[in-house]
Structure 1
Amino acid sequence: MALPWALAVLSLLPLLDAQSLACPNFSVPITNASLDQISGKWFYIASAYRFPEYKKEASKIHAVFFYFTPNNTEDTILLRQYMTIGDQCIYNSTSLKVNRENGTLSKHSEP
């Protein structure tokens, strides 16, 4: 009788090391090496949406791929997107601003 009780108590010991519910800071600085790692062709595999209208639009997607072309001197990434949605082929191109300190990318428009 004591053995099952002892095993139950010992199996709960890892819970004492549980982390707080506060979100940790996952941001890491962006370097030229990390930009080189994301450069090239990327494929859209899947998406998950909670809202029915987004699910409906996502179900129309047949194929998507992206090209990331970093420009290390200007801290930008040229993003080229090719999509097949329904019976249409769509091409989009935009520039992403690289914020190296906090590890984020953002869209920006040219003046």
Structure 2
Amino acid sequence: MKKLSVSIALVLLMCTAFVSANELKPKKTYSNVSSELATLLAPDGAVGDLENETVVKVKIRINADNEIVVLQTNTTNAELSNYIKVSLNYKKLSSFELGLDKEYVFDVNFQM
């Protein structure tokens, strides 16, 4: 009887572990979108002088025409923020990895 109780408890514990493991969803990488964004944000002289490496969080949304709409950047550098907005706003994505009317946040790493 004791072995039966231990076996039932072990089975319940294992089932709980499997259920909780199924609930965790791995993060998507969006590799096609990442390469498209890197191409659109190709560096040029418009960024201005950056004194050191800068990482900017950019919040975007994809509209019904599969175009990027920049909602927000977290940089205090006005030239850099303007460069990101001009480079990305209303540019059409060729990949359809991102869902429509959902907000996405990604990091843009600008290096000297």
Please, what TM-score do these two structures have when normalized by structure 1? 0.30
Which protein has the bigger strand share? Answer: 1
Which protein has the bigger helix share? Answer: 2
